[in-house]
Amino acid sequence: MATVYPFKALRPHADYVSDVASVPYDVVSRAEAKDLGKDSKSFLHVTKPEIDLSDDIHGHDPKVYAQGRKALDSFVADGVLIRDAEPAFFVYRLTMDGRTQTGIVMTADVQEYDQNIVRKHEFTRPDKEDDRVRNIEALAAQSGNVFLAHRDHNTLSKITASTLAQTPLYDFVAVDGIRHEVWKVDGGHNEAIQNSFAELGPIYIADGHHRSAAASRVAKNDGAGEDAQRFLVVSFPESELAIWDYNRVVEDLNGHQTDAFLQALSSVVSVDPIDGPVNARHEVSMYLAKQWYRLRFRDELIDESDPVGRLDVSLLQTHVLKPLLAIDNPRTNTRIQFVGGIRGADELVKRVNDGAGVAFKMYPPSLAELFDIADAGEVMPPKSTWFEPKLRDGLFVHVLDSLTSKNG
């Protein structure tokens, strides 16, 4: 069972919500964040506070975290952010290109993260965990939602539908064209929401592994109170989510000439020239020397009983990237780049035409495959999943009053 809670949200005043809401801190560079943060109310001043410091100050300098706290305090003092008096659940709907996904904003239990009831499918990096721990401790708050997925549940669907019939707290379209709408759930539904998640069993991290891990570490600090034993999440039903492709670009052919590389490939995959990328399981679209190719993995290489090994990203890594292109560890090898599917096939073409060696457009895993891997206690290869639309930061903040008292 999964235990979830309403919370006293710190959130934007309705007059400022479109100014405050910002892209996640980890999808933009410092230069991009500085440009996006030109609006003085952008939440990037809290989540990417180095944009307000000189460029020679490193992003993990203590001054950066202190600047984030200064920005958050200023937003509260100026009435840009307001604190709810009572705990509540929220409904958050995103619409992109005519497709909607509607989730429930709440807090989840840190112990259940530790116990794998809130299930993981990725490894985390210590340096990124450290950064989020320092961010939470400096802010005395969790400033961004962890993106969860849960199996469909009839009661949750009914509560969501009845909430959507009410007037939203927020309704705005961001500069990227994605519509964001938020409703506060009537408190009379709180117990039913909690009971429904208890009935669901495990819930699954889609995106936000480092934020989750950081919340777990902060919860173990001396003086961390009950509020720090919970972390900010928004959970969406499985049927409304779509995983996008997460593609690979390798900067060179590891010493191969084009014809020799194609010949080496043919020993593990069928290689066929095509006019444009395909989109099918166990087929990879490769762009090489101004030509698209369909790569089909041979049947004997695919073990459908292996939830990780059967993924196309695993097959490509095991049979192509490592043996032919010497990408032994894609987490650390600097010769490989990862390109989210939102950028489209044209971005892969551009990078290869601009000098990269080869690009691979992947078929994305399904939510069911993600669930299977998490249930088995396994992890997916790095950069396997890309979710769109992205949640906006700044719409909800979970204040940790116990840390505020400690830091104060």
User: Could you report the per-residue pLDDT of 276-320, keeping only the tens digit for each?
Assistant: 999 899 999 999 999 999 999 999 999 999 999 999 999 999 999
User: Per-residue pLDDT for 406 more than 70?
Assistant: no
Closest CA to 39 of 175, 170, 139: 175
Q: Are strands 146-150 and 230-237 parallel, antiparallel or unpaired?
A: parallel
Supply the DSSP symbol for 390: P
Q: Measure CA 307 to chain center.
A: 21
CATH no. of 245-384: 3.30.1760
The answer on pLDDT for 125 being more than 90 is: no
Torsions phi, psi of 260, nearest 5? -70, -35
Cα(337)–Cα(360) distance, rounded to whole angstroms?
11
Contact status, residue 136 vs residue 142, Cβ threshold 8 Å = yes
Q: Compute, in degrees rounded to 10, the torsion defined by CA atoms 116, 118, 123, 126.
A: -100
**Mean per-residue pLDDT for 60-67?**
95
- Positive/negative CA dihedral, 140, 145, 149, 154: positive
Please give the distance of CA 278 from its chain centroid, rounded to a whole number. Answer: 25
CA 293/CA 312 separation, integer angstroms: 16
Please state the rounded mean pLDDT for residues 389-398.
Answer: 96
* Mean per-residue pLDDT of the chain: 95
Contact 105, 11 (CB under 8 A): no
> What's the pTM value of the predicted model, to 2 decimals?
0.92
DSSP assignments along 158-213, one per residue: HHHHHHHTS--SEEEE-TTS-EEEEEEPPGGGHHHHHHHHHHH--EEEEE-HHHHH
pLDDT at 139 over 70: yes
Res. 38: pLDDT tops 90: no
Identify the pLDDT of residue 408: 47
Chain region(s) in the chain for CATH 3.30.1760:
245-384
As a whole number of angstroms, the distance between CA 194 and CA 187 comes to 12
* DSSP notation for 237-256: EGGG--EEPEEEEESS-TT-
The C-alpha atoms of residue 126 and residue 5 are separated, in whole angstroms, by: 28
Amino acid at 215: A
